[in-house]
Amino acid sequence: MSEPLSRAHALALDANDPLRDLRGEFLIPRHEGGEQTYFVGNSLGLQPRGAQAAVQEVMGQWATLAVEGHFTGPTQWLGYHRLVSGQLAQVVGALPSEVVAMNTLSVNLHLMMVSFYRPTAQRPVILMEAGAFPTDRHAVEAQIRFHGFDPADCLVEVQPDEAEGTISLQAIEQAIARHGARLALVLWPGVQYRTGQAFDLQAITTLARAQGANIGFDLAHSVGNLPLQLHEVAPDFAVWCHYKYLNSGPGAVAGAFIHERHHRDTTLPRFAGWWGHEEATRFQMAPQFVPSVGAEGWQLSNPPILGLAPLRASLDLFERAGMAALRDKSLALTGMLDALVQSRLPHVLERITPADSERRGCQLSLRVIGGRERGRALFEHLRAVGVLGDWREPDVIRISPTPLYNRYQDLHHFVDAVDAWARH
């Protein structure tokens, strides 16, 4: 038996990894004749080899079929968005009718708030985390103003109450209880982008609904990272993007979930468009909007087919691996990274992500001891030697080993590179 934190042990784990073949399905960026060590799947996932073929297929249909491409063959564009809904539903634990790939994340967040943020004078408040991703904060503030309310009164932000800037469930519970009767909507992340903290979606949903508030999740850092059970957890809505852990390319078409209980509710306001009209009568081009039943009914436009194509290639790989197996490997990878950092780099890096694996996904957010200048120097050094993480001001490097294409030996590349720099 080799030492658990030895390179030999990491190599043995890689050799016996049941998911090891999946790495070969991705294009790994090069560095000085070798491969980069890429830990930025939380920001832009790597390109699946199948993505180019999926895009080429659409280009070919356009070339040879032109407008007939809308109606010809198994990948006809008329129902193209539906080609991904079964596999996507698997990834997020939903019914296929509850998910749709459309628009981009910020757009979907607005569209969902149009339907699920219905402020009244008695209940005007949106509750969210302080330090949310800026677009979420901007969208919430804009929605409050759009309804004629004042964010100073109607936006409640829950402050971090734990030492590393994370938020306890008790703090969320207290905030929901304190504002309960005035809460219209709770909007919460699945995984916090800066700290990497994962939240208990079921507990938060239960707390919000018990107060009569709607609940929506931003799952940008959760989808493809943690197993999700959206149908069972039963928030009103969720939104996410597909270019992070879902590997579908820069600016990829995003996703949305709308729980089944809302699918036939015609009293919900929505910003309608013709692609959300029921398919059977869409091309009768009548003036009256009749929504499709399900998440598809929230679509506006005919989708960007070229933008959707890479998602199909990525979802094939998620189906092949399965979220449960990916989570098992992710726990082992991130656990090993954590142990390596604690044992070999305690004087260089300190983790701000929770230690409890139930409260995190792939990502470890590592604060560089010694401040911003030292942190930037380390980050630039890592980039120069082909080890890619990403930087969050003022002093945090995020490292996200993803189970689809990262290896145990990659963790040693990272720790060795930091160690060599710190000794130098």
Ligand X SMILES: *Cc1c(COP(=O)(O)O)cnc(C)c1O
Q: Is 414 annotated as a binding residue?
A: no
Identify the active-site residue in 80, 243, 257, 379: 243
Among 22, 241, 246, 349, binds ligand X (CB under 6 A): 241
Q: Is 95 annotated as a binding residue?
A: no
At residue 184, what are phi and psi to the nearest 5 degrees?
-90, -40
**Residues contacting residue 251 through CB under 8 Å, at least 6 positions apart:** 104, 243, 307
CB of 301 to ligand X, least distance (A): 16
223 binds ligand X (CB under 6 A): no
Among 129, 136, 338, 410, binds ligand X (CB under 6 A): 136
* Nearest residue to 286 via CA among 295, 294, 277: 277
Count of residues engaged in binding ligand X, rule: CB under 6 A:
12
| Residue 390 appears among annotated catalytic residues | no
CB of 239 to ligand X, least distance (A): 8
| Residue 133 appears among annotated catalytic residues | yes
Among 38, 39, 133, 217, binds ligand X (CB under 6 A): 133
Identify the active-site residue in 137, 244, 312, 367: 244
Q: Return the structure tokens found at 137.
A: 């904060």
CB of 400 to ligand X, least distance (A): 12
CB closer to ligand X out of 182 and 221: 221
CB closer to ligand X out of 136 and 410: 136
Q: What is the DSSP string of 330-343?
A: HHHHHHHHHHHHHH
221 binds ligand X (CB under 6 A): yes
CB of 392 to ligand X, least distance (A): 12
Identify the active-site residue in 329, 351, 398, 407: 398
Element (H, E) at 35: strand 34-35
Interstrand relation of 47-48 and 155-158 (parallel, antiparallel or unpaired): unpaired
Q: Is 199 annotated as a binding residue?
A: no
Among 45, 48, 189, 310, binds ligand X (CB under 6 A): 189
Nearest-angstrom CA–CA distance, 65 and 83 = 19
Q: Is 135 annotated as a binding residue?
A: yes
191 binds ligand X (CB under 6 A): no
Q: Can you state the percent helix, strand and coil of the chain, rounding each to 5?
A: 45, 15, 40
* Nearest residue to 222 via CA among 203, 247, 241, 248: 241
Q: Return the structure tokens found at 97.
A: 């009718």
CB closer to ligand X out of 135 and 342: 135
- Cβ 359 vs Cβ 198: under 8 Å: yes
- Cβ 79 vs Cβ 292: under 8 Å: no
Q: Return the structure tokens found at 413.
A: 């590349």
CB closer to ligand X out of 188 and 408: 188
C-alpha dihedral over 273, 275, 277, 280, to 10 degrees? 160
CB closer to ligand X out of 221 and 351: 221
Nearest-angstrom CA–CA distance, 222 and 198 = 8
CB of 189 to ligand X, least distance (A): 6
| Residue 218 appears among annotated catalytic residues | yes
Query: By rule CB under 6 A, what string of x and - marks binding of each residue 73-112 to ligand X?
Result: -------------------------------xxx------
Cα–Cα separations (whole angstroms), residue 269 to 182, 272, 315: 21, 9, 32
Interstrand relation of 47-48 and 255-258 (parallel, antiparallel or unpaired): unpaired
Annotated binding site: 105-106, 133-136, 218, 221, 243, 274, 302
Which residues of the shown chain bind ligand X in the complex (CB under 6 A)?
A: 104-106, 133, 135-136, 189, 193, 218, 220-221, 241
- List the catalytic residues: 133, 218, 243-244, 398
